């Protein structure tokens, strides 16, 4: 599938569908709703006057609930038997295929053990040295002598898709269309036909690569998945295609957004930026605080498999129960002064990577990538600061959040 419409920008289309430009700061509304009740009855988008967009499971409005408090969110996410992931089959599953996103145990546990073979510590160390560091520093090389840059467009936006393509062993020449298909894939709320077409195109593209890797394994993730085995079972072609379709947006979109949000937090709190530059033991704390303060994806959804009570609210069997990760990460019952970006706050686990059986399988990769890009910026861009002439730099969006640009000066 090659799109002949040169005026169509899938990245802009995804941002619009996710609330960018329409929702600047959702956290006051989250706080109001959480204060009224730890579980909100209705669609979250309605509270912002937005269409349904990325509320991923389509059901009647009166059967939709949103866990807003940290306690309610944890209750939902840790109980995969009561709160099923199968609802994704009728939405994002239409373009991903039958992926880990929509699986429940025991299928989920078996599949997860198989794909985790592609995320070993040895693999992480190899990718960091051979792939992530060269990509990040290669991008910094392009602007390091200029004294100014847009960190989003020139660094945080391009580097994760380069990493994913490198992990999969795909040729660099294919990267622009590969990235475009990945974004069209997840924007099914904005354009279902483009999403379905991108899904089929990616399947066809990966089919040739997978067949070659089954015959002749290489040092890439597709080869690992092609030959992963657990108790005599292997992944089928369709299971691998579904995971690869999921990996594209999960690995590229969320990492670009989380690293961009972290830089926004540090740049708007220059004392904390300089503290991290001076004391690299604060890097991990800064990354976790960025994820808590502004998770790249603010919500995920489940289906109630029985009548159940969450935080005192009765939820009927078959209802959608969304979990607002953003609201849970800003719950003052767990995080004092939750709206404040503070890398020195008492460390408590956050929910940016979800929780329970469906905790993000790629979270260690995401942390490693973010650490590498942050260290590269700290090492190579002295006196880094927001461009004082840049107007109104801020994070935007409801379901997916990130700054659209981060104009900086350095040197």
Render pLDDT for 189-216 as a digit per residue (tens, 0 to 9).
Answer: 677 888 899 999 999 999 999 999 999 9
CA-only gyration radius of the chain, Å = 21
What is the predicted pLDDT for the residue at 1?
42
Note the pLDDT of residue 64: 92
d(Cα 299, Cα 360) in Å, to the nearest integer?
13
Task: Please indicate, yes or no, if residue 107 is contained in any of the structural domains.
Answer: yes
**Number of compact structural domains in the chain:** 1
Q: Count Cβ neighbours within 10 Å for each residue of 198-231 and write b for 16 or more, e otherwise.
A: bbebbbebbeebbeebeeeeeebbbbbbbebeee
CA distances from 108 to 116, 164, 308 (A): 12, 23, 23
What is the mean pLDDT of the segment spanning 133-141? Answer: 98
313 or 91, higher pLDDT: 313
Residue 404 forms part of a structural domain: no
Residue 64 dihedral angles phi and psi, to the nearest 5°: -125, 130
Q: What is the mean pLDDT of residues 61-87?
A: 94
Q: Which residue has the higher pLDDT, 141 or 3?
A: 141
pLDDT in tens, 304-350: 999 999 999 999 999 999 999 999 999 999 999 999 999 999 999 99
Distances (CA, A) of 72 to 121, 295, 306, 378: 33, 18, 16, 38
Residue 342 forms part of a structural domain: yes
- Residue 113's pLDDT is 92
CATH number at residue 255: 1.10.630.10
What value does the mean pLDDT of the chain take?
Answer: 91
Q: Is residue 396 part of a domain?
A: no
pTM tops 0.85: yes
User: Has residue 290 been placed in a domain?
Assistant: yes
Residues 160, 251: Cα–Cα separation, whole Å: 7
What pLDDT is stored for residue 375 in this prediction? 98
Assess if residue 285 is contained within a domain.
yes
CA-based diameter of the chain, in Å? Answer: 61
Whole-number percent of the chain with pLDDT over 90: 72
Overall residue count recorded for the chain in this entry = 411
For 344-370, write each residue's pLDDT tens digit.
999 999 999 999 999 999 999 999 999
| Structural domain containing residue 364 | 10-19+26-378
Answer yes or no: is 1 within a domain: no
Residues 131 and 162: their CA atoms lie apart, in Å, by 9
Higher pLDDT, 273 or 391: 273
Query: In this structure, is residue 277 part of a structural domain?
Result: yes
* Confidence band of 174 (pLDDT split at 50, 70, 90): confident
């Amino acid at each position: 599938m090659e799109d002949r419409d040169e005026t169509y920008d899938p990245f802009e289309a995804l941002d619009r569908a996710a609330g960018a430009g329409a929702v600047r700061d959702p956290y006051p509304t989250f706080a109001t709703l959480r204060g009224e009740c730890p579980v909100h009855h209705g669609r979250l988008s309605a509270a912002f006057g937005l269409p349904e967009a990325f509320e991923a499971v389509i059901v009647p409005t009166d059967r939709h609930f949103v866990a807003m408090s940290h306690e309610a969110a944890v209750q939902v996410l840790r109980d995969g038997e009561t709160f099923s992931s199968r609802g994704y089959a009728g939405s994002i599953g239409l373009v991903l295929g039958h992926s880990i996103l929509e699986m429940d145990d025991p299928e989920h546990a078996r599949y997860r053990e198989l794909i985790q073979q592609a995320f070993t510590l040895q693999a992480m160390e190899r990718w960091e040295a051979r792939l992530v560091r060269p990509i990040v520093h290669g991008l910094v090389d392009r602007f390091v002598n200029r004294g100014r840059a847009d960190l989003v467009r020139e660094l945080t936006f391009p580097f994760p898709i380069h990493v994913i393509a490198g992990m999969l062993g795909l040729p660099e020449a294919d990267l622009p269309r590969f990235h475009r298909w990945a974004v069209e894939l997840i924007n099914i709320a904005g354009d279902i036909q483009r999403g379905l077409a991108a899904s089929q195109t990616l399947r066809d593209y990966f089919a040739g690569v997978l067949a070659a890797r089954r015959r002749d394994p290489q040092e890439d993730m597709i080869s690992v998945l092609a030959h992963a085995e657990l108790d005599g079972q292997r992944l089928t072609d369709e299971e691998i295609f579904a995971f690869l379709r999921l990996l594209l947006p999960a690995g590229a979109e969320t990492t670009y957004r989380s690293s961009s949000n972290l830089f926004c937090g540090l740049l708007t709190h220059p004392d904390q930026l300089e503290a991290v530059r001076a004391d690299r033991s604060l890097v991990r704390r800064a990354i976790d605080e960025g994820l808590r303060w502004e998770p790249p994806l603010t919500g995920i959804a489940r289906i109630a498999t029985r009548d159940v009570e969450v935080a005192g609210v009765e939820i009927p069997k078959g209802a959608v129960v969304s979990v607002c990760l953003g609201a849970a990460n800003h719950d003052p019952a767990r995080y004092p002064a939750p709206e404040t970006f503070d890398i020195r706050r008492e460390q408590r686990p956050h929910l940016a990577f979800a929780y329970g059986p469906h905790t993000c399988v790629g979270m260690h990769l995401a942390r490693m990538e973010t650490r590498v890009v942050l260290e590269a910026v700290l090492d190579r861009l002295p006196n880094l600061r927001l461009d004082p002439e840049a107007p109104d730099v801020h994070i935007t969006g409801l379901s997916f959040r990130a700054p659209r640009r981060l104009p900086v000066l350095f040197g």
